[in-house]
């Protein structure tokens, strides 16, 4: 995937792995908005795959492809065992988390704290590559704590390349492992896009994608003028409607010119109602699906009422898919226009 993209000059747009957000129901919704976006699971810890409920952790809908599994861990034996198990599920990529700053992840000596030991991360990548039938990639920060990113990042990247990593996704912020919460670590440390751009220019034959603070497709397009890939997190989740422009961004680029494509919202409504019907029949709750849909209609008349309906009615015991129909009916959805001003 990545080697071919580099060879062909094809850009990749990804939705970042986000704990508690990018579960299988979220990814199913996102796939309805874009056929080309690369979707990531939440981080799944290797120990959980080995000892936990594998089917619940790893199963997903076939429609989600291309979909990547993000793994957390620092023990090569456990990581390779987790990959062997996950291989039966047919993921398109295995990604190593070297960016999460949470206390829970730090206590397991993985995530962002691995930035302190590039040699060990390289050994993990080498071990993972030996057993993975699909590309192995790394998602990292530009550094942690008092590290100097301009010194740390080039050395870290060199180690990943030597280890055989198929791509590196770089969150353009440091992580402060003490004193800042995970939320603050996504907002307070300053972004250094220039460093990441320079890193790409210095490594033209390596697939390098950028992540962190990218708020819309116009910004994504600007980064793609330099980078091989761009990854959006909170912006894509909180305003999932913007994903409707991704396929055009990766093709004609029209969606990045301050416009958004019209969506067949009624087809989306029916698809999500059918999906939720199946989930409820299997013992799930409507809210498991609709909680990811709240941000769909930003900028549309009726969006506030849409959010209210999904946030209240969908959480009630026994809520059915008629709630989705009622929420969509509350929105003033234009029709007959190819492009709508964003």
CA distance 19 to 260: 28
- Is the alpha carbon torsion for 154, 156, 157, 162 positive or negative? positive
CA distance 71 to 98: 10
What Å distances lie between residue 208 and 114, 272, 286, 315, CA to CA? 19, 34, 38, 40
CA distance 28 to 289: 9
Q: How many residues in total does the chain contain?
A: 342
Among candidates 139, 40, 134, which has minimal Cα distance to 88?
A: 134
List all residues 6 or more positions away from 241 whose beta carbon is below 8 Å from its beta carbon: 33, 260, 263, 295, 296, 297, 298, 299
Catalytic site positions: 100
Cβ contact 340:298 at 8 Å: no
β-strand 339-341 against 38-45: which pairing, if any? unpaired
CA distance 64 to 137: 19
* Token pair for 324: 């989705």
* Token pair for 108: 């397991």
What Å distances lie between residue 265 and 6, 99, 261, 297, CA to CA? 34, 35, 11, 10
């Amino acid at each position: 995937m990545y080697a071919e993209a580099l060879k062909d000059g094809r850009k990749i747009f990804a939705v970042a792995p986000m704990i508690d957000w990018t579960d299988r129901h979220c990814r199913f919704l996102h796939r309805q908005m874009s056929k080309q976006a690369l979707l990531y699971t939440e981080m799944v810890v290797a120990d959980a795959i080995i000892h936990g409920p594998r089917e619940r952790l790893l199963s997903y809908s076939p429609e989600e492809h291309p979909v990547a599994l993000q793994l957390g861990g620092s023990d090569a034996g456990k990581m390779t065992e987790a990959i062997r198990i996950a291989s039966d599920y047919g993921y398109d990529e295995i990604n190593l988390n070297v960016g999460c700053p949470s206390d829970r992840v730090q206590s397991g000596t993985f995530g962002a704290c691995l930035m302190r030991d590039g040699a060990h991360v390289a050994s993990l990548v080498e071990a993972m590559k030996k057993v993975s039938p699909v590309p192995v990639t790394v998602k990292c920060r530009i550094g942690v704590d008092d590290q100097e990113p301009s010194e740390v990042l080039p050395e870290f990247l060199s180690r990943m390349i030597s280890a055989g990593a198929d791509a590196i996704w770089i969150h353009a912020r440091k992580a402060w492992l003490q004193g800042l919460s995970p939320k603050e670590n996504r907002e307070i440390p300053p972004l250094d896009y220039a460093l990441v751009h320079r890193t790409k220019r210095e490594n033209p034959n390596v697939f390098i994608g950028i992540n962190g603070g990218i708020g819309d497709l116009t910004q994504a397009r600007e980064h793609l003028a330099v980078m091989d890939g761009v990854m959006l997190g909170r912006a894509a989740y909180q305003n999932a409607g913007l994903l409707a422009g991704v396929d055009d961004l990766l093709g004609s680029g029209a969606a990045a010119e301050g416009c958004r494509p019209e969506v067949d919202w009624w087809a989306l409504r029916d698809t999500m109602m059918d999906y939720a019907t199946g989930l409820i029949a299997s013992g799930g709750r409507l809210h498991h699906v609709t909680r990811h849909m709240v941000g769909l209609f930003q900028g549309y008349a009726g969006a506030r009422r849409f959010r209210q309906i999904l946030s209240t009615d969908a959480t009630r015991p026994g809520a059915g898919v008629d709630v989705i129909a009622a929420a969509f009916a509350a929105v003033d959805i234009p029709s007959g226009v190819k492009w709508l001003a964003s």
